[in-house]
Structure 1
Protein backbone atom coordinates (compact mmCIF):
# COMPACT_ATOMS: atom_id res chain seq x y z
CA UNK A 1 0.00 0.00 0.00
CA UNK A 2 1.36 3.43 -0.87
CA UNK A 3 1.29 6.33 1.58
CA UNK A 4 1.72 9.67 -0.19
CA UNK A 5 2.01 13.19 1.20
CA UNK A 6 -0.32 15.10 -1.13
CA UNK A 7 0.17 18.29 0.88
CA UNK A 8 2.45 21.24 0.27
CA UNK A 9 4.51 20.90 3.46
CA UNK A 10 6.55 18.07 4.97
CA UNK A 11 5.09 15.69 7.56
CA UNK A 12 7.00 13.87 10.30
CA UNK A 13 4.85 10.74 10.49
CA UNK A 14 1.74 9.01 9.19
CA UNK A 15 -0.97 6.56 10.23
CA UNK A 16 -3.39 4.52 8.13
CA UNK A 17 -6.55 2.87 9.47
CA UNK A 18 -9.33 0.65 8.14
CA UNK A 19 -11.84 -1.96 9.20
CA UNK A 20 -11.92 -5.35 7.50
CA UNK A 21 -15.51 -6.28 6.54
CA UNK A 22 -15.14 -10.06 6.88
CA UNK A 23 -12.93 -10.68 9.90
CA UNK A 24 -9.62 -10.90 8.06
CA UNK A 25 -6.56 -11.14 10.30
CA UNK A 26 -3.13 -9.74 9.48
CA UNK A 27 -0.40 -12.35 9.96
CA UNK A 28 2.59 -10.38 8.68
CA UNK A 29 3.25 -6.71 7.91
CA UNK A 30 6.36 -4.90 6.66
CA UNK A 31 7.18 -1.22 6.28
CA UNK A 32 5.02 -0.21 9.25
CA UNK A 33 3.89 -1.16 12.73
CA UNK A 34 0.35 -2.43 13.04
CA UNK A 35 -2.20 -3.06 15.72
CA UNK A 36 -5.38 -5.01 15.14
CA UNK A 37 -8.34 -5.24 17.47
CA UNK A 38 -11.04 -7.41 15.97
CA UNK A 39 -11.65 -6.09 12.48
CA UNK A 40 -10.07 -2.65 13.12
CA UNK A 41 -6.50 -2.17 11.88
CA UNK A 42 -4.10 0.72 12.26
CA UNK A 43 -0.64 1.00 10.74
CA UNK A 44 1.89 3.71 11.55
CA UNK A 45 5.33 4.53 10.25
CA UNK A 46 8.51 3.00 11.67
CA UNK A 47 10.32 6.29 12.19
CA UNK A 48 12.78 5.85 9.34
CA UNK A 49 9.92 6.05 6.80
CA UNK A 50 7.72 8.60 8.57
CA UNK A 51 9.11 11.90 7.33
CA UNK A 52 7.71 12.70 3.89
CA UNK A 53 8.29 15.87 1.95
CA UNK A 54 5.53 17.38 -0.17
CA UNK A 55 4.69 14.90 -2.93
CA UNK A 56 6.87 12.13 -1.44
CA UNK A 57 5.64 8.61 -0.76
CA UNK A 58 6.52 5.41 1.03
CA UNK A 59 4.77 2.08 1.35
CA UNK A 60 3.93 -0.95 3.44
CA UNK A 61 2.59 -4.39 2.70
CA UNK A 62 0.89 -7.19 4.57
CA UNK A 63 -0.38 -10.74 4.45
CA UNK A 64 -3.78 -11.53 5.89
CA UNK A 65 -6.05 -14.54 6.17
CA UNK A 66 -9.78 -15.02 6.03
CA UNK A 67 -12.01 -18.00 6.72
CA UNK A 68 -14.82 -16.91 4.42
CA UNK A 69 -15.55 -13.91 2.25
CA UNK A 70 -12.67 -11.55 1.53
CA UNK A 71 -14.34 -8.17 1.04
CA UNK A 72 -12.52 -4.89 0.55
CA UNK A 73 -12.69 -2.30 3.36
CA UNK A 74 -15.21 0.44 2.56
CA UNK A 75 -13.20 3.25 4.12
CA UNK A 76 -9.49 3.81 4.58
CA UNK A 77 -8.07 6.85 6.38
CA UNK A 78 -4.56 8.26 6.23
CA UNK A 79 -3.47 11.00 8.59
CA UNK A 80 -0.26 12.91 9.20
CA UNK A 81 1.19 12.79 12.71
Structure 2
Protein backbone atom coordinates (compact mmCIF):
# COMPACT_ATOMS: atom_id res chain seq x y z
CA UNK A 1 0.00 0.00 0.00
CA UNK A 2 1.21 3.51 -0.80
CA UNK A 3 1.51 6.19 1.88
CA UNK A 4 -1.27 8.81 1.68
CA UNK A 5 1.40 11.49 2.23
CA UNK A 6 3.16 10.48 -0.98
CA UNK A 7 6.26 8.91 0.59
CA UNK A 8 8.24 6.66 -1.74
CA UNK A 9 8.63 3.83 0.77
CA UNK A 10 5.72 1.34 0.82
CA UNK A 11 3.72 1.04 4.03
CA UNK A 12 4.30 -1.96 6.30
CA UNK A 13 1.63 -3.98 8.08
CA UNK A 14 2.09 -4.27 11.83
CA UNK A 15 0.03 -5.59 14.73
CA UNK A 16 -0.87 -2.97 17.33
CA UNK A 17 -2.86 -2.53 20.53
CA UNK A 18 -5.21 0.46 20.67
CA UNK A 19 -7.73 1.90 23.12
CA UNK A 20 -11.11 2.89 21.69
CA UNK A 21 -14.08 4.35 23.55
CA UNK A 22 -17.72 3.34 23.29
CA UNK A 23 -20.39 6.06 23.15
CA UNK A 24 -20.90 5.78 26.91
CA UNK A 25 -17.19 6.47 27.47
CA UNK A 26 -16.27 2.86 28.31
CA UNK A 27 -12.67 2.14 27.22
CA UNK A 28 -12.06 -0.95 25.09
CA UNK A 29 -8.59 -2.34 24.33
CA UNK A 30 -8.23 -4.16 21.04
CA UNK A 31 -5.07 -6.23 20.63
CA UNK A 32 -3.49 -7.67 17.49
CA UNK A 33 -5.16 -5.09 15.29
CA UNK A 34 -3.59 -4.88 11.83
CA UNK A 35 -2.49 -1.39 10.81
CA UNK A 36 -0.49 -0.04 7.88
CA UNK A 37 2.38 2.25 8.91
CA UNK A 38 4.71 4.31 6.75
CA UNK A 39 8.30 3.75 7.94
CA UNK A 40 9.31 7.15 6.54
CA UNK A 41 6.75 9.57 8.04
CA UNK A 42 4.88 7.41 10.59
CA UNK A 43 1.45 7.86 8.96
CA UNK A 44 -0.97 5.11 10.01
CA UNK A 45 -3.96 3.78 8.13
CA UNK A 46 -6.44 1.14 9.15
CA UNK A 47 -7.40 -1.52 6.60
CA UNK A 48 -11.14 -2.05 6.08
CA UNK A 49 -10.99 -5.49 7.72
CA UNK A 50 -9.55 -3.97 10.91
CA UNK A 51 -12.11 -1.14 10.82
CA UNK A 52 -14.94 -3.71 10.66
CA UNK A 53 -13.49 -5.56 13.66
CA UNK A 54 -13.34 -2.31 15.67
CA UNK A 55 -16.90 -1.42 14.62
CA UNK A 56 -18.25 -4.85 15.66
CA UNK A 57 -16.53 -4.66 19.04
CA UNK A 58 -17.69 -1.10 19.79
CA UNK A 59 -21.27 -1.95 18.76
CA UNK A 60 -21.32 -4.99 21.06
CA UNK A 61 -21.55 -7.59 18.28
CA UNK A 62 -18.46 -9.33 19.70
CA UNK A 63 -18.14 -10.32 23.36
CA UNK A 64 -15.12 -9.05 25.26
CA UNK A 65 -12.74 -11.61 26.74
CA UNK A 66 -11.77 -9.62 29.82
CA UNK A 67 -12.06 -6.53 31.98
CA UNK A 68 -10.18 -3.31 31.37
CA UNK A 69 -10.06 -0.19 33.50
CA UNK A 70 -8.20 2.94 32.48
CA UNK A 71 -8.27 6.47 33.74
CA UNK A 72 -9.79 8.95 31.31
CA UNK A 73 -7.89 12.15 30.73
CA UNK A 74 -9.31 15.28 29.19
CA UNK A 75 -7.20 17.91 27.47
CA UNK A 76 -6.86 21.15 29.42
CA UNK A 77 -8.36 24.13 27.62
CA UNK A 78 -6.14 27.26 27.44
CA UNK A 79 -4.31 28.01 30.65
Whether TM exceeds 0.5 here: the answer is no
TM (normalized to structure 2)? 0.29
Structure with larger Rg: 2
TM-score (norm 1): 0.29
Relative to its length, the structure with more helix (as a share) is 2
